Structure 1
Amino acid sequence: MSIPNGISENLDVLIVGAGFAGLYQLQIYRKLGYNCKVFDSAADIGGTWYWNRYPGARVDSPVPIYSFSTEELWKDWNWTEKYPGWKEIRAYFQYVEEKLGLKKDITFNTRVVSAEWDEGQHRWTVTTDGGLVVRPRHLVLATGALTVPYTPAFKGLEKFQGVCHHTGRWPEEGVDVKGKRVAVVGTGSSGVQVIQEIGPEVGHLTVFQRTPNLCLPMGQEQLDVKTQTKLKELYPVYFRFRHQSVFGFHYNPYPKDYASSTPEERILRLEEYWAKGGFQSIASFNDTGLNQESNDGVYAFWRSKVRARLRDPRVQEKLAPMVPPHAIGGRRPSLEQTYYEVFNQDNVDLIDLNEDPIAEFTSKGIVTGDGKEHEFDVIVLATGWDSVTGAMTKIDIRGIGGRTVAEKWKDGVYTNLGMTVSGFPNMFFTYGPQAPTAFSNGPSCVEPQGDWIAGVIAHMKKNGLTKIEATPEAEQNWRGMVMGIYDMLLMKKARGWWNGANIPGKAVEVLSFPGGIPTYFSKCTESAEKGYEGFVLSGKENGQM
């Protein structure tokens, strides 16, 4: 395929992905005068928020934290909700485009299918599904953590003659569920959001659950312009502090442990944080993720709050069991508003897949293990994602010696600083494995990562260098630190997308850096200040960059 107008074959930087991370880096490289382009498989900007359009889809991080920190992009923008829905997030991305005019450097409907390192030229040869080939000096994968939908190998799925969609590929025009018989398979975050959104309008709803989602109160608020205008005086403080907080929000866990608190203090602290809503509602003590007694105490409090909203004792036990299914906070909780009330409706059934697994799909619906056929008009597959590593391993990326990323990570992930891989020079990635990713929110993670990557490339350009590669020793050390922290946490006993346990054949291990944002970025800064310790920089500029 010939190179389209506006795209040169020998790019300085090719970015894959036009979400928060890709757009943030594109505007940096344009200011630096680099020849940079973005490829994205979608038809518009937004990254995961181009695809997240299922009923009830909304962010689980509050604004302004969940937005770009650049004053130009928040000074005149006002949100309508503390936790915006997908339509407002899309509108925000179009506002960003109006301000920065980034689309002229983005090629849409273009999926990168392969990338091969050329050791002789110190460049990547990147090929798209349309046959377009470019040769960037640097390859930046801004492909996101939750972008590859996963559907289990259900027997007979293709036989179903009704409407069936995965939440990650919901049709743009939507699906009419009013008065229909609807099944939702899965109760992860997208399942929770769909259930509470469509519950009041369907004819009958059947929820298939394997593990209860330990949902937290969202604490949604409507926002007005006057309040936001006043609050914007603090926006710079918020954006600076999100890099000082453990999870990239505007708060840290209460600085006292559960064991040293009195029974009265425990109750009052739990109630205070619960009332605030969001993930903060279980951040009432600093040892909840480490200490079983603390975790059990917070879980018991959570359970009492949830059970009080449910009428049926059987449903109480299924959604908020007396024995915790895992440590609270050990899997990504979903933020909810009316999720539990849906199960009080007479037209809602809850099927425990541990008791009655899905045997097969038929033309009319789903047959469960007890032999019963459940008939549906619409089936929603809220079955999750091949998270964190999936978007990278789905691309045929071949480094030195022709080894692929998928082959290297088959038995476990190895990175340096959660942004680079030994054997794959000049390749960087954001919001991916062994970075704060799943334990933070997107913008809080990808902006400083983008700054760090841009700093590396600027350093190389200034010094006429053409190759940077992480050392195997640095990878070993980084992996050792990630796993060492993880081994201290109660979450290591849980299974889910945080550790890849939801994907058959995937190595089960923590996929994100669990040590908090301040520790993570201090390590990244330390490497840069020591001349990019943990990397080998080489080559001499030959005029191609």
Structure 2
Amino acid sequence: MYALHKMRERGLKTQAIEAGGGVGGTWYWNRYPGARCDVMTIDYSYSFSNEIQQEWTWTERFCSQSEILEYANYVARKLDLFRDIKFDTRASSVEYDDAKRRWRIETEQGDVYDAKYCILSTGPLSVPKGVDIPGADDFQGELYLSARWPHEKVELDGKRIGVIGTGSSGVQIVSVVAHQASHLHVFQRTPSFSLPMRNAKMDPEYVAQIKKHYPAMREVTRMTFSGGTRPASSRPLFSVPVDERNAMLEEAWKTAGHNLLGIFSDLLLYKEANDVVADFVRGKIGEIVKDPDVAEKLKPKSEPIFARRPCLDTNYYEVFNKDNVTLVDCLSTPIERITPRGVIVAGEEIELDVIIAATGFDALTGALLSIDIKGKQGASLKEKWAEGARSYLGMAIQGFPNLFTTAAVNGPSALANFILLNEQNVNWINDLLDYMDANGFDTVEATEEAENKWLDRIALLASRSLMPKANTWYTGTNIPGKPRTFPMYAGGLGRYTEDCQLVAQNGYEGFDFYSEASPEAEAELAEEEAS
């Protein structure tokens, strides 16, 4: 949405194509029970227009899917974006024409577009993994994917429900449907650390203060690690006395669980510090869940806290005290298959009316690789990325001129506030186009050397972090056969922004520029325009 707005401001002829039937991205598709943003909504909103910031008022600290979708539609109407978006349209191929030095985009619906610039804003979590369990097609009850939830109301009250998966979506779903189901079975393979969201209605005086200081607040948050207003301390954990440290942990737990990430500076750097916070959260799980065996199964033990995407919840662990909720530990007793009537575990059939699959995504690269993208001389992006994603700054790819990606795999991506990261990327691309116009350049392409150096930087930052230690969608281990790498920029949004600014200040170091299209292309374009 912001890319469309910004490119239109340049006076470019623009066209956006969108697979969904409306704006909103993840908030268009993910309508499951309990769907809610786990970034505070005062942060998870556009900052480029103070008029929009002043006009729109959020109702909750962490807003629901429906309110965020309403906001996306409000912005689209405000900026008159709908006239340049074609919905229910999915790109099937994006191919570079070497002679014309232009991109040819074809869609599954039969449209063909010819573009000088192509921006891929496909998102890191937009291709659902699906249900890769034998017998899924045989189930005669209702089967829903959390990432493709129906737009009409789904009636769940009084039904026997099974939820497969306990990542962010699964945790949110379980917290709600436990109160609707006659009986709920939660099929958990890898437990997640989940922290209390502590959601609340927005106080009018607080909203007024936020709006008064929004511009200054945004300047600060753009340069933080996460791109949000949560605490970010410079104190190492072991520099704080034990009693004071414990009090800080308790306070963070009481106010909002996401504060736990920022109260010490070294939680993602040193295992010993990480263990202290992980043990604290495991202790809280043990306090909340009455059955000791269930509590132990809910405690993550194999990976550092925050190395897997942390979840925020509303009374998630509490629902396991309900008589109608059963936890199925799929590490010790995996799902064998799905039957017409339910699920078989340890040789026994659990009969279900509804299965909800919160099974995750082919993350980070899945959306881009689902399109047949070919660069210069027909080079395939799938082949280029066969051993892992490669780009420069997470925005440009060597061998793919005038093609840009936003919030993509080799940037901070899913580690940062997605809205501010998208804005930063689009603004940076726009400035690059300004530079090209000012210098008479028609084409820009990242160099192989720059791409290699950027990947070295990503690897160096990852090596200093505990995040690559976990087997998660961060590293691609949830998809069989996918290369195991940690392809995201682990230095935080602020440092990433500084790196991008330095490239621009150095005359867009790492890019090759070309001044004109080939004579053949000029002649062909002139002929097309004449006809």
Place the TM-score, normalised by the shorter chain, in its bin.
Answer: over 0.9
User: Counterpart of 1:82?
Assistant: 61
- Matched position secondary structure for 2:485: coil
Question: What 5-or-longer segments of structure 1 have no aligned partner?
Answer: 1-22
- Residue pair 1:246, 1:252 contacting (<8 A) in 2 also: no
- By how many angstroms is 1:311 displaced? 0.5
Please report how far the alpha carbon of residue 225 of structure 1 lies from its aligned counterpart in structure 2 after TM superposition: 3.9
Q: Does residue 201 of the first structure (1) align with residue 180 of the second (2)?
A: yes
Q: Distance in 1 between matches of 2:166 and 2:263?
A: 25
Partner of 1:4: none
Whether the aligned pair in 2 keeps the contact of 1:500 and 1:507 (CA below 8 Å) is yes
CA distance in structure 1 between the partners assigned to 2:82 and 2:257 by the alignment: 34
**Distance in 1 of aligned mates of 2:494 and 2:310:** 22
- For residue 315 of structure 2, the aligned residue among 316, 338, 360 is 338
Change (3 A) 1:119 1:252: farther
Cα separation, 1, equivalents of 2:505 and 2:209: 38
Does structure 1 residue 91 correspond to structure 2 residue 70? yes
CA contact (8 A) 2:131 2:357 kept: no
Mapped partners of 2:261, 2:506: distance in 1:
38
**Residues 1:169 and 2:148 aligned together:** yes
Q: Give the one of 373, 380, 394 matched to 2:349.
A: 373
Q: Please state how far the C-alpha of 1:224 moved relative to its aligned partner.
A: 4.1
1:521 match: secondary structure? helix
Matched with 1:329 is 306
Is residue 507 of structure 1 aligned with residue 483 of structure 2?
yes
Query: How far off its partner does 1:490 sit?
Result: 1.7
Asked if structure 2 preserves the Cα contact closer than 8 Å seen for 1:212 and 1:325, the reply is no
Paired residues of 1:51 and 1:168 also in contact (CA < 8 A): yes
Residues 283, 226 of structure 1: alpha-carbon distance in 2 compared, 3 angstrom cutoff: closer
Q: Give the corresponding residue for 1:362.
A: 339
Q: 2:171 aligns with which of 192, 199, 202?
A: 192
Residue 435 (structure 1) aligned to one of 369, 392, 411: 411
**Deviation digits for residues 442-465 of structure 1, max 9, x if unmatched?**
112110111001111222233332
| Kept after mapping to 2: 8 A contact 1:181/1:375 | yes
Partner Cα separation in structure 2 for residue 117 and residue 252 of structure 1: 45
Structure 2: how far apart are the matches of 1:278 and 1:400?
48
2:104 aligned residue (117, 125, 128): 125
Structure 2 match to 1:33:
11
Distance in structure 2 (CA, Å) of the matches to 1:93 and 1:260: 44
1:524 aligns with 2:500: yes
- Kindly indicate whether the alpha-carbon contact (under 8 Å) linking 2:30 and 2:146 is maintained by their aligned counterparts in 1: yes
Q: 1:487 Cα shift? A: 1.4
Contact kept, 8 Å, 1:434 with 1:511, in 2: the verdict is yes
> 1:385 and 2:361 equivalent?
yes
Deviation string, structure 1 residues 43-72 (Cα, Å, up to 9, x no partner): 111111110101110101002100001212
Partner Cα separation in structure 2 for residue 396 and residue 461 of structure 1: 30
Q: Indicate if the aligned counterparts of 1:471 and 1:534 stay in contact, CA closer than 8 A.
A: yes
Q: What corresponds to 2:436 in structure 1? A: 460
Distance in 1 (CA, whole Å) between partners of 2:24 and 2:73 is: 9
For 2:340, the aligned partner's letter is S
Which whole-Å CA distance do the structure 2 matches of 1:505 and 1:465 have between them?
Answer: 41
- CA distances 1:397-447 after superposition (whole Å, capped 9, x unpaired): 001122221221111121100111111111111111111112112112110
Tell me which moved more, 78-87 or 455-464: 455-464
**Where does 1:1-12 land on structure 2 (aligned, <5 Å)?**
none
Which amino acid is 1:123 matched to? R
CA contact (8 A) 1:245 1:251 kept: no
Counterpart selection for 1:269 from 238, 245, 248: 248
Tell whether the 8 Å contact from 1:65 to 1:238 is kept in structure 2 after alignment: no
Determine helix, strand or coil for the equivalent of 1:75.
helix
Shift of 1:274: 2.4
Residue of 46, 63, 67 corresponding to 2:45: 67
Query: Contact 2:194–2:312 at 8 Å: present in 1 too?
Result: yes
Q: Which residue among 261, 278, 302 is the counterpart of 1:282? A: 261
Q: Could you tell me which residue of structure 2 aligns to residue 102 of structure 1?
A: 81
Picking from 515, 525, 528, the partner of 1:539 is: 515
TM-score scaled by length of structure 2: 0.95
Kindly indicate whether the alpha-carbon contact (under 8 Å) linking 2:223 and 2:495 is maintained by their aligned counterparts in 1. Answer: no
Q: Decide which of 42, 46, 49 is 2:27's aligned counterpart.
A: 49
Q: CA deviation at 1:252?
A: 4.5
8 Å contact kept, 2:230–2:262: no
C-alpha separation in 2, matches of 1:57 and 1:233: 29
Report deviation, 1:387.
0.8
Between the aligned partners of 1:45 and 1:518, the Cα distance in structure 2 is 28
Aligned to 1:7: none
Could you report, residue by residue, the CA deviation over 1:373-409 in whole angstroms, capped at 9, with x for unpaired residues? 1110000000000111111010000011222212211
The AA in structure 1 aligned to 2:312 is: L
Q: Which amino acid aligns with 2:34?
A: G
Aligned residue for 1:206, secondary structure, equals strand
Give the match's secondary structure for 1:183.
strand
- Cα distance per residue 1:178-232 (max 9 Å; x no partner): 0000000000011001000111111000011011110011121101444312321
Candidates 460, 463, 466, aligned match of 1:490? 466
Per-residue deviation at 1:158?
0.5
For 1:193 and 1:424, the matched residues in 2 are separated by 39
1:99 Cα shift?
A: 1.5
Structure 1 residues 331 and 373 mapped into 2: Cα distance closer, same or farther (>3 Å)? same
Local SS of the residue matching 1:196: helix
Letter in 2 for 1:255: S
Q: CA deviation at 1:266?
A: 1.3
How many angstroms apart in 1 are the aligned matches of 2:386 and 2:139?
A: 34
Residue aligned with 2:293, SS: helix
Cα distance in 2 for residues equivalent to 1:98 and 1:535: 36
TM-score by length of 1: 0.93
User: How many pairs does the alignment contain?
Assistant: 520
Q: Which amino acid in 2 is paired with 1:83?
A: F
Q: Which amino acid aligns with 2:132?
A: A
Q: Give SS of 1:499's match.
A: coil
Out of 250, 254, 257, the position equivalent to 2:229 is: 250
SS at match of 1:379: strand
Instruction: Output the CA distance in 1 between the equivalents of 2:209 and 2:277.
Output: 35
- Give the alignment of 1:405-484 within 5 angstroms: 405-484=381-460
Paired with 1:437 and 1:325, the residues of 2 have a C-alpha distance of 24
Question: 2:124 corresponds to which residue?
Answer: 145
CA distance in 2, matches of 1:517, 1:333: 18
- Percentage of identical aligned residues: 39
Question: How far, CA to CA, are the matches of 2:463 and 2:430 in structure 1?
Answer: 33
**Distance in 2 (alpha carbons) for counterparts of 1:285 and 1:360:** 44
- The CA deviation at 1:146 is 0.8
Contact 1:148 1:391 in 2 (8 A): yes
d(CA) in 2 for partners of 1:38, 1:435: 23
Please give the secondary structure, in 2, of the residue aligned with 1:135: strand
2:513 aligned counterpart, secondary structure? strand
Hey, what's the Cα distance between the residues in 2 that align with 1:399 and 1:278? 45
